[in-house]
Amino acid sequence: MRIFSFSAIALTLLCCQVAAAQSAQGPLPSAGTAVGSDQFEIHTDEWVSLHFFAFHAARALSGEDYGFRTVPLFPEDAALLDDPAIAAAFEPMAELYRPVLKNSLFRGALFRIARQLGEGPETIESADVRSAFEAFMPTYQEHFWPRHKAVAEAFAAELRAELAVHGQALLAATANELDATWGDAGYLTYITAYANWAGAFSNDNILFMSAADPDVVAHKLEIYVHEAAHGEPIGNTIRPAADSALAAHDMENNRFWHYLQFKATGEAAKQVLGDDYVPYVRATGLAGRSTMKIWYDALDTAWQQHNTLEDRAMAAVATVAAERK
């Protein structure tokens, strides 16, 4: 079997490319828009799915330890990659990804690959990159995609169904908690078997959610609006509120804005889903980690005592500052 030679040059070229056309995107529903309409863009896509699978498969085959950022392969996928014929077919893909295995999927060349593949492999200008995907796709379609598709489409169906019931209220509650509006921006969501180590991420109003991550599966509505809140205009209030509060108390924490975002979207989900709902950061133990606990505890108190995002951020930072004196 012919093995193509790829290098960092191909991905460097890709990193510099920007797709000429964006996928058609409708705006997320406002409180008065029927949920479940074409304004929700939730998709499964074999090319995007292949990208994430190939990245994590290449990592697994590299033998390197990526710590908590490791995403384990499905046992069936790992077993297939032990097949000599499939391993040989995958080798050009593995070689393509090797220079960027320590990179983040949510920015740079790896994010651009995902975005461009969603528009179709023909949008990738690098012939080497494009030919690698096209060469492996038949193998992926035969051995991997049916399983990945089934998992992704089941998750997507559940997400659409839950949005049909709770979407209007959830989007309104999220906007209220963030003191923001959804505006006319569109959010395109891809559901895949694999995503990143966190199970979901977003960039440039494009969301990616793993249908196999158990924490994402258990909190799919909250994670959906959380990832959307990384975009614009709904997320435009978060960093200014966090930065102003930190500056006012001469404090530093480059993740406080994200704690604020998790708290706001978790509270929105709880309002809609009921008091028994446990938000993602509490259910996963994230809020109890040593470096985060003091901040989340302060946010819990501030949320009960204040009504705006800005005031809540200010009060939370004031509490942390006082406790650290």
Q: Is residue 29 part of a domain?
A: yes
Query: Quick one: pLDDT at residue 287?
Result: 97
Query: Quick one: pLDDT at residue 1?
Result: 24
Same domain, 197 and 300: no
Q: If you average pLDDT over residues 316-321, what whole number do you get?
A: 98
- If one counts the domains in the chain, the total is 2
- Give the pairing of strands 188-192 and 200-203: unpaired
Q: Is residue 85 part of a domain?
A: yes
The reply to whether omega before 233 is within 30° of 0 (cis) is yes
Over residues 279-295, the pLDDT tens digits come to: 999 999 999 999 999 99
Q: Between the CA atoms of 250, 252, 257 and 263, what dihedral angle is there, to the nearest 10 degrees?
A: -80
Bridge-partner residues for 36, per DSSP? none
Average pLDDT over the chain, rounded to an integer: 88
Tokens of 131: 């030919």
Same domain, 140 and 59: yes
Same domain, 311 and 250: yes
CA distance 120 to 114: 10
Same domain, 197 and 278: no
Over residues 242-258, the pLDDT tens digits come to: 999 999 999 999 999 99
If you average pLDDT over each of 165-169, 202-206, 310-314, which comes out highest?
A: 310-314
Query: Quick one: pLDDT at residue 249?
Result: 97
CA 126 to chain centre: 26
Same domain, 160 and 251: no
Same domain, 188 and 258: no
- Give the pairing of strands 200-203 and 41-43: unpaired
Q: Is residue 6 part of a domain?
A: no
Q: Is residue 197 part of a domain?
A: yes
Q: Is residue 101 part of a domain?
A: yes
Instruction: Let me know: does 110 contact 205? Beta carbons within 8 Å.
Output: no
Query: Quick one: pLDDT at residue 92?
Result: 97
Same domain, 85 and 189: yes
pTM, entire model: 0.87
CA dihedral sign of residues 54, 56, 60, 62: positive
- Give the pairing of strands 200-203 and 206-210: antiparallel
Query: Quick one: pLDDT at residue 4?
Result: 25
Instruction: Let me know: does 192 contact 49? Beta carbons within 8 Å.
Output: yes
Same domain, 188 and 277: no
Same domain, 244 and 157: no
Report which DSSP code applies to 100: G
Beta-carbon contacts of residue 221 (< 8 Å; ≥ 6 apart): 159, 162, 163, 166, 170, 269, 272, 273
Over residues 118-158, the pLDDT tens digits come to: 999 999 988 999 999 999 999 999 999 999 999 999 999 99
Query: Quick one: pLDDT at residue 29?
Result: 39
Q: Is the pLDDT at 31 greater than 80, yes or no?
A: no
Task: Show the DSSP H helices in 30-144 as ranges.
Answer: 46-62, 75-81, 84-97, 108-119, 127-143
Q: Is residue 282 part of a domain?
A: yes
Q: Is residue 191 part of a domain?
A: yes
Q: If you average pLDDT over residues 172-189, what whole number do you get?
A: 91
Q: Is the pLDDT at 30 greater than 70, yes or no?
A: no
pLDDT over 90 percentage in the chain:
82
- Of 109, 117, 96, which is closest to residue 15 (Cα–Cα)? 109
Task: Grade residue 207 by pLDDT with cuts at 50, 70 and 90.
Answer: very high
Q: Is the pLDDT at 221 greater than 70, yes or no?
A: yes
Q: Is residue 210 part of a domain?
A: no
Query: Quick one: pLDDT at residue 186?
Result: 83
Tokens of 234: 């709904």
Task: Grade residue 44 by pLDDT with cuts at 50, 70 and 90.
Answer: very high
Query: Residue 189 in 3-state DSSP?
Result: strand
Query: Quick one: pLDDT at residue 325?
Result: 83
Same domain, 264 and 117: no
Instruction: Let me know: does 11 contact 58? Beta carbons within 8 Å.
Output: no
pLDDT over 70 percentage in the chain:
88
Same domain, 192 and 51: yes
Domain containing 47 equals: 23-165+174-203
With vertex at residue 137, the alpha carbon angle to CA 133 and CA 141, rounded to the nearest 5 degrees, is 155
Same domain, 48 and 197: yes
